[in-house]
Amino acid sequence: MRNHAVSKYKAFISYSLKADKDLATALQSALHRFAKPWYKLRAMRVFRDQANLALNPHLWKSIKEALDQSEYFILLASPEAAKSAKADKPAWVPKEVDHWLSKRTPETLLIVLTDGEIVWDQTAGDFDWTKTTALPSNLGKIFSEEPLYLDFRSVRTQTDLSLRSPDFLNKIARIAASLHGRSLDELIGDDIREHKRTRRLAWSVVIAAGLVFVVIGGTTWLWQKGFTLDQALLRVQSVFVSIHANHEMQVVPVGIFRQGDTNGLGDRDEQPVRDVMIKSFAMGKYEVTFDEYDRFAIATGRSLPSDQGWGRGRRPVINVPWEDSKAYAEWLSKATGKRYRLPTESEWEYAARSGGKNEIWAGTLDEAQLTDYAVYAAHSQNRTAPVGGKTPNGLGLHDTSGNVWEWVEDCWHKNYDDGPRDGSAWVEAEGGNCEERVRRGGAWVNRPEFLRVSNRGRGPADYRDTVIGFRLAQDIE
C-alpha cells in the first residue's frame, strides 16, 4: 500500500465520456472549490482524464500513473460506464476499476450513481446482477456488505451544476466529507466560513471603490434612483464585473401534447384544441425574483420596480412590462453566454401541464388540492408570496399556477386557428395584435378558473401591474 501522504491527487474520477462529461467536469470543479481556503488555488486536486491528459500514444500508461498517484477512486456509475470492452472501443471504466482494486481496498472506491440502478442482494452478499445496470461486473464479490453510494440522478439533468445549486451543493459536501475524512457538519461549517471570509475581502475592495464613487458625486444619483447602500455597492461592483444571479433551470423533455381547453372549462380563445410538438428546453424552476431582477436594473441604470411595500428578496418581481422582461433575458444571456429568453405560449402550457398531462391546474386536476400548489385569491393575503413555497408540479416547477401572471413571447391572437404546431412563438401580427403580448398562469388576486393551465391573458407590451411578472426559458440544444 502506497503512502497517501505523498499523493498527487486526492481523487481520480472514472466516468463515461458519453454519459457524464458535463457532470464529471462540474464535480471536479466543485471539489476544487468547496471549503477552499481563500489563500489556496483549490481545496484539493482531483484528476479527470479529459482535463489532465495530453493526447499521446501512451494514454493507458498516463492513466495508470494518475491512478497510482490518487488517494480515492470516484466512480460515476451508469449503464454506459458499466459496458464491457468492444473490439473498436476500450472499456476505460472497467479497466480503471480493475487497476485500482489490484492495489487498493474497496473502502477507497466511492460510488456516485448518475443513471441506471444499483440493487444489493443481502442473501448473496453481492449486487443483484439481474437488476444492477450501473456497475461494471468486475465489482462483483468485492464488498463484504452493501456499500454506501451517493445518488446523483436527480441533479444530472440540471442546467446549473454549480455550488450555487442547493441540491448539487449538498451532494458535493457529502463527497468532500468522505475525501477529507471529516464530518459533514464540520466541513459545511468550514465552507460557510471561507465563503464569508472571501466575500469580506471582496466587499472591502467594493466598499473602497464605493467610497470613491460617493465622493465624486454619486450620492445624488443614488438618491434619485432610490437605491439602498447594498444596491449602491452592487452598482459600483457592476462597473468591474457582472453582478447577475444564476437561475435554477429544469430540463423539459421533448413531447407532443394537446394544447387548449381539454376539459371544457374555458373560453373561445382556448380553442381549437390541437396537438403541438415541443422540443426539449429548460424552464426556470421559479418565477424571476426581485433579488435577480434588481441586479439587472442596477447594472443597466433602470429604475427599480415597486414592490408595493410587500418586500423584495425572493418574492416574484412585479410591475415589469413585457419589454423589460425581454431585456432582462438578453442581458442575462450576454452575462452568462447561455441563451435565455421568454418561453413560447406552447412551451409554457406544456411545462405547466407537467410535460403535457391533462391537468386543469399546474400539478393537479383536483380543485381541493389547489391551495397546496398555488398562491391565489382565497389564500394570498392580498399580495405575492416568496417563490417556491408551494408544491411544484410534476416537472419540479413552482408557481406556474398563481402568484403572478407570467409574460410569454407570443403576440395576442383571439384563438388558436392557424396557430403554429411546432412549439414556436406565434409572433406574426397577421390575424393578431403584436402590441399586446400573452401572459399565463393567473395571479395572487385571481379565482381558480383564472389559474387553469389553458387559461390565457393579455396586455400591452409596455404595461406594468402588481399581478404580472415572468419566468425564463433557456435553449439547451
- Return d(Cα 237, Cα 206) in angstroms, integer: 6
Do residues 22 and 111 both lie within one domain? yes
* Mean pLDDT for the stretch of residues 292-305: 93
Do residues 142 and 254 both lie within one domain? no
Do residues 9 and 149 both lie within one domain? yes
Do residues 261 and 382 both lie within one domain? yes
Do residues 57 and 203 both lie within one domain? no
Give the model's pLDDT for residue 157: 76
Q: How many domains does the chain have?
A: 3
Check residues 313 and 166 and name the one with the higher pLDDT.
313
**pTM of the complete model beyond 0.75:** no
- Return d(Cα 215, Cα 209) in angstroms, integer: 10
Give the model's pLDDT for residue 361: 98
Q: Is residue 400 part of a domain?
A: yes
Q: Is residue 244 part of a domain?
A: no
Do residues 155 and 222 both lie within one domain? no
Angle between helix axes 166-180 and 184-213 (nearest 10 degrees) is: 120
Q: How far is CA 54 from CA 8, 49, 182, 289, in A?
A: 17, 9, 34, 44
Check residues 182 and 321 and name the one with the higher pLDDT.
321
Residues in contact with 289: Cβ distance below 8 Å, sequence separation at least 6, in sequence order: 313, 314, 315, 316, 317, 387
- Return d(Cα 119, Cα 129) in angstroms, integer: 8
Do residues 46 and 124 both lie within one domain? yes
Give the model's pLDDT for residue 8: 87
- Element of type H or E holding 231: helix 229-238
- Return d(Cα 87, Cα 108) in angstroms, integer: 31
Q: Is the pLDDT of residue 285 over 60?
A: yes
Q: Is the pLDDT of residue 154 over 90?
A: no
Output phi, psi for 164, to 5 deg.
Answer: -80, -15
Of 155-169, 255-269, 307-321, least confident by mean pLDDT is 155-169
Q: Is residue 109 part of a domain?
A: yes
Average pLDDT, the chain: 88
All three cell numbers of 36, joined, read 477552499
pLDDT band at 403 (very low <50, low <70, confident <90, very high): very high
All three cell numbers of 237, joined, read 461592483
Do residues 172 and 307 both lie within one domain? no
Exposure of 180 by Cβ count < 10 A (0-12 exposed, 13-18 middle, 19+ buried)? middle
Domain CATH number, residue 318: 3.90.1580.10
Domain CATH number, residue 101: 3.40.50.10140
Q: Is residue 418 part of a domain?
A: yes
Residues in contact with 312: Cβ distance below 8 Å, sequence separation at least 6, in sequence order: 290, 291, 294
The 10s digit of each residue's pLDDT in 322-366 is: 999 999 999 999 999 999 999 999 999 999 999 999 999 999 999
* Mean pLDDT for the stretch of residues 110-139: 95
The 10s digit of each residue's pLDDT in 200-231 is: 666 665 666 555 555 445 545 555 556 777 78
Of 41-55, 177-191, 350-364, 378-392, least confident by mean pLDDT is 41-55
115 and 153 Cβ atoms separated by less than 8 Å: yes
Do residues 309 and 418 both lie within one domain? yes
Q: Is residue 243 part of a domain?
A: no
- Return d(Cα 404, Cα 305) in angstroms, integer: 15
What size, in residues, is the chain?
Answer: 477
Do residues 20 and 166 both lie within one domain? yes
SS3 324: helix
All three cell numbers of 455, joined, read 387559461
Domain range for 151:
4-182
Do residues 258 and 163 both lie within one domain? no
Residues in contact with 250: Cβ distance below 8 Å, sequence separation at least 6, in sequence order: 157, 158, 159, 282, 283, 284, 285, 395, 396, 397
Do residues 255 and 224 both lie within one domain? no
